[in-house]
Amino acid sequence: MPLGTLDRTPPPFFKQGPSAFSKLMVLSALAVFLMIADARLSLVQPVRSVLATALYPLQSLVMHPVNAWRWLNGFMTTVKEVQTEQQRLESKLIEQAARATQADQLLQENQRLRALLGLRERLGQSGIAAQVLYDAADPYTRKVVIDRGLTHGIVQGAPVLDESGVLGQVTRAHPLVSEVTLLTDRDQAVPVLNTRTGVRSVAHGQSGTHGYELELRFMAGNADVRVGDLLSTSGIDGVYPPGLPVAKVTQVERRAESAFARVLCEPLAQVLSTQQVLVLPPVGSDLPPSPLVQDAVKTKNTRSGHHPQR
């Protein structure tokens, strides 16, 4: 059978309906109609609301990983920012604390220097201001080293004060530094006067457990001394000017088996923490020699054949 005689149309079972172009035109027109109707009449709004409500659980479930990642990223960023801010604030706090400590030290030093200046004005003597460098290396003594020496006019035997009272005495003077023995040293003794009764005595440094106290030795058991009495220098030793505050009586023990009372005193000077001191010239440097010394000098000159000039 020749091919031209065959029917080329599909059988009814495979009927395809309208053409693709016709479908495109119909659907396009329907889409334009729905857009115009939704914009003007909001006909699709209920359908959109129903679909949005139905799809919300699925949308929320899909957004969980994204939200979790965003929260974790924000949390890590916030923690890092907080840590950085905390470090900055801690550094600033340490800096402010150092400045505050320095300011307090300067204020205390200024107050001590003002007190020393006021003490020098009350004494009416020219003193030399010095600063304590360090404690002496010997653990069995109570000594400090100051930053003034022979080149600054410091002499051996000069009394040393702080803003509260007598601190000690220069026992060794070097060209640039000097060694000061504190009045609490066991080898030191200061003639004192009880400002309440006017009784003179001698305050000795203590050793052992009472290494930072003074003791009034050889005080009679019935001596008029009480806790709280103030002791000042008597000025009879030719070293300390009279009237300088020395100590305060803290303990009085009257024992029946002894003829002497045990009297302990607390120094008024800051023997453990002083930094600025005032060094005065010894009182004996301004006093004339005693008659005994003058007689000894005359006797020596007579024996050697020298006669003083008249």
Q: How does pLDDT run across 48-64, given as a tens digit for each residue?
A: 777 778 877 887 787 78
The whole-number pLDDT of residue 179 equals 92
Q: Rounded to an integer, what distance in angstroms lies between the CA atom of residue 292 and that of residue 132? A: 38
Please tell me the pTM assigned to this model: 0.55
Q: Rounded to an integer, what distance in angstroms lies between the CA atom of residue 31 and that of residue 72? A: 43
Could you please report the per-residue DSSP string of 190-248?
Answer: EEEEETTT--EEEEEE--GGGTT-EEEEEEETT----TT-EEEE-STTSSSPTT-EEEE
Per the rule left: phi > 0, alpha: psi between -120 and 50, beta: everything else, 113 is: alpha
The whole-number pLDDT of residue 293 equals 46
Task: Give the count of alpha carbons within 13 A of 95, CB side only.
Answer: 6
Q: Which of 133, 127, 132, 100 is nearest to 115 (CA)?
A: 127
The whole-number pLDDT of residue 273 equals 81
Mean pLDDT within 273-279: 85
Q: Are 228 and 221 within 8 A, CB to CB?
A: no
Whether 29 has a pLDDT exceeding 90, the answer reads no
